[in-house]
A = this chain, B = another copy of it.
């Protein structure tokens, strides 16, 4: 069922179809356990009576500095957000650096300073770490892994299993900014100054939402693979359909224009400071009100709803009235975006 390639391809890191195949054909069969098999952004585990979330991500973004952020900010925000998406308040991070011999120390200092700022904004502590140095050419500059521990918010139960037909699908703001900002920096394109990465820690926003509306059923940040891939994962896990209204999707005109020129689809572009929220429709106004009061979710809006059909799939109701199936990302659109 899941195609196994003989060699690792760039697409295996895309977050899309090939990533899923790799996970399901090699990683999950080896490590299978209830916490891992849930395939959330992080694991929900018990330790000494405490209900925790535990998440990790490695960051290999190229270039390491881009409009709106850098690899350090990304490494803190990404893992903080993965914890928040589990319904947890992030507490502690680890930081593992892999450095290339010859990396200017000033660059490392700038990246570390940026991690400190992001950690302060998120209210987390970086409590443990590791630094490896490899010879010139064995790694491209600097890669950072962060892992994080969070405390699950009492009353919250964030899982795809609770996503049911009738629920509203909300997104916290404009789609695709991060991917376009990184891509433009990588290729030296001059873009409108408005297009900067949305990279930000969402945990305080999520904490406010879950405190007021513990009925929220599912949260996910649409990073690699973009909104379309994220929603496909949720539709598949929940066995429901998700129908999006094209006219409601928030995309900056500048990002839309770049996408049209370069042949990208904003629904498949990575975001690093956005959240998709599932909640019963009776709570959607309350959730939107809370979100719009927060500086990171001023443009929050409903973009669609959960349906019975097409079960396990995502469809887009286009502005001209058609219904188009949205698959997961296939292949690799933009490698090393995070």
Contacts and interface: CB of A to CB of B under 8 A. Distances in A.
Interface stretch (A87-95, A176-184, A194-202, A310-318): A87-95
A47 B151 contact: yes
A48 B45 contact: no
Interface stretch (A55-63, A242-250, A321-329): A55-63
Contacts of A51: 48
Contacts of A191: none
A84 interface: no
Contacts of A10: 101, 133-135
Contact of A52 (B30, B31, B48): B48
Interface string A106-127: 1011001101100100000111
A96 B145 contact: yes
A133 to B, nearest CB: 3
Contacts of A149: 45, 47, 52, 54, 149
A314 B99 CA distance: 30
Interface residues of A, number: 82
B60 A125 contact: no
Contacts of A50: 47-50, 52
Interface in A1-46: 4-14, 19, 22-23, 26-27, 30-31, 33, 35-36, 42-43, 45
Contacts of A186: none
A156 interface: no
Given A49-B49, A125-B35, A133 B7 contact: no
Q: Which 5 A-B pairs have the closest CB atoms?
A: A13-B133, A48-B50, A147-B147, A56-B94, A43-B127
